[in-house]
Amino acid sequence: MSTNERRVDPDPFGVIVAIATIVAGVASGLDLYRRANPDTAFKVRRRIRDRLERLTDLLRYLAADVEVIRDVLASADVPGNRRFRFGVGVFMTPGQVDRYDEATDDALDRLRRVLRITHSLEKEISQVEQPDSVPRISDILEGLRTTTRRLLVDEDLTVDEALDNLETVLQTALNVAQEVARTTEL
């Protein structure tokens, strides 16, 4: 039996793209809050701030999950010059698959919680007055969208470059969440 026959292809493409697209969406919601009226009721600001703190923690843990995925993929067999494309096999040993499964399981669980917090924030924020005088973080948002879009369409992207892009998306969303939380006055 050859080495390729004993290896497993868990298809990391979908997981990496899912993490990037969900996390990029987080920043859009945070931009809405950043523009919220500072006269918003104390209880509402407190709830939003608590959710932002939980979101920041989840993004940090998600970044650690991505580091494990990166580590596993670094030693996986990726044919075709390690290109990051839908349908390209990524072959791992059973031990690598176990580490990959645990990291992606944790990441997907965290993504579910990130989505829940993001939706909850969006509901809170939708009830807060939005003054026009505060500028949007459009450059940051556009950068996140561009980086995420690249994961979906750039056929020359390698696995390592895809993971670099994912880490950029995560770090940017984390920075935005921390900045919004820091500037939230209670």
Q: Could you tell me the residue range of the domain that residue 89 belongs to?
A: 3-182
pTM above 0.85, yes or no: no
As for how many domains the chain has, the answer is 1
pLDDT (tens digit, 0 to 9) for every residue of the chain, 186 residues total?
345 457 777 777 788 888 888 888 787 667 666 665 555 667 777 887 888 889 999 999 999 999 999 999 999 988 877 888 777 778 899 999 999 999 999 999 999 999 888 888 777 766 665 555 444 555 677 777 788 888 888 888 888 999 998 998 898 888 888 877 776 655
Each as own residue / partner, the long-range contacts of residues 36-44 (CB below 8 Å, 24 or more positions apart, any chain) are: 36/125, 36/128, 36/129, 36/130, 37/128, 37/129, 37/130, 37/131, 38/185, 39/129, 40/128, 40/129, 42/186, 44/124, 44/127, 44/128
